[in-house]
Structure 1
Amino acid sequence: MIKTKKLTIIEKEINDYSSSSSVKFPFKKIAIGSDHTGFKVKNILIKYLTEKSYHVYDLGTMDEKSCDYPDFAEAVSEKVQQGKADCGFIIDATGIPSAITANKLEGIRAATCYNEFSAKSARSHNDANVIVLGAKTLGEETIKSIVDVWLNTSFEGGRHQRRLDKITGIERKYKS
């Protein structure tokens, strides 16, 4: 039984191409969302990313009122799944529950990253298209460093592609 909830996602598109820096990696359009715990970090990242000339879709939340992380994890992941964003950023308290939610959508490879190594591996080995961060587990400068590594790391392919193909096969096998 599926219950429907009345949830309105207010999408706010942020364009600030006034920065002189250039985008070095293929990711140009980023969908970003957070629950109430990640709200401040989300806004810090929006400013940081727009200063680097990324096109950012702010999918909420728009304040610090209590809300449910699955709503925003789904909104970000759906934007990526539909090809309207090249990648997604989700911020909640620990990064774990939003990653679980995001990975329910076919084709989404969401990774909770907690340092630069995990970010690099998520991209180079797993071709992650959504990064999930914990607002209560990471500091602002660490988050920015993780984001920089993640955005500037490309997928290596090779043996890693073979493994991703197996994951896709499993995903299709259990698709309802």
Structure 2
Amino acid sequence: MKIAIGGDHSSIELKKEIIKYLEELGHEVKDFGTYTSESVDYPIYGKKVADEVASGRYEGGVLICGTGIGISLAANKVKGIRAAVCSEPYSAKLSKQHNNSNIIAFGARVVGVDLAKMIVKEWLDAEYEGGRHARRVGLITKIENGEEI
């Protein structure tokens, strides 16, 4: 799988560990920044990763900021993105199975390396179930497109 990853200044060390882990699992990973611990604005990196995933150049994305919240909010402003903030593996799994999430986000100040790896692994291994969930994901898409639901 081709995976885009990005994060703000708080993510640097955790992002390095997650890139290494993803590559060990056999995934192709591209880091869209930031590359320094100097303070930066997380929406820039959330948008970069979201644009890559929405375009289809990457099959999924991983975003990391202090909590995962801000960067996921920015990513979710890009049409076609369903970024889920998860601080534990169960929600990560269900975000893919039920919501067809295409980006996973978490906080470098919230989860440690081992828990972050578990979150990523559950998300990667999960498959969208469709079925009753497809109607709901369709409603989310209608909202995104400014349509009535």
Q: Normalised by the shorter chain, which TM-score bucket?
A: over 0.9
Calculate the TM-score normalised by the size of structure 2.
0.97
- Tell me, what secondary structure is at the counterpart of 1:100? helix
How far apart in 1 are the matches of 2:89 and 2:23?
A: 21
Do residues 134 (structure 1) and 107 (structure 2) align? yes
Q: Of 148, 157, 160, which residue of structure 1 is paired with 2:130?
A: 157
The share of aligned pairs that are identical, in percent, is 44
- Tell me, what secondary structure is at the counterpart of 2:67? coil
Task: Give RMSD over aligned pairs.
Answer: 0.8
Structure 1 gaps of 5+ residues are 1-27
Structure 2 gaps of 5+ residues are none
Calculate the TM-score normalised by the size of structure 1.
0.82
Q: How many angstroms does 1:63 deviate by?
A: 1.3
Larger-Rg structure: 1
How far apart in 2 are the matches of 1:29 and 1:168?
A: 24
Q: How many angstroms does 1:75 deviate by?
A: 0.2
Question: 1:18-77 deviations in whole A, cap 9, x for unaligned?
Answer: xxxxxxxxxx00000010001111111111111111000110111111111000000000
> How many correspondences in the alignment?
147
Do residues 50 (structure 1) and 45 (structure 2) align? no
Q: Of 70, 82, 90, which residue of structure 1 is paired with 2:55?
A: 82
Deviating beyond 4 angstroms after TM superposition, the runs of 4 or more aligned structure 1 residues are none
Structure number with the higher helix fraction is 2
Do residues 105 (structure 1) and 98 (structure 2) align? no
Q: How many angstroms does 1:105 deviate by?
A: 0.5
- One-letter amino acid matched to 1:123: K
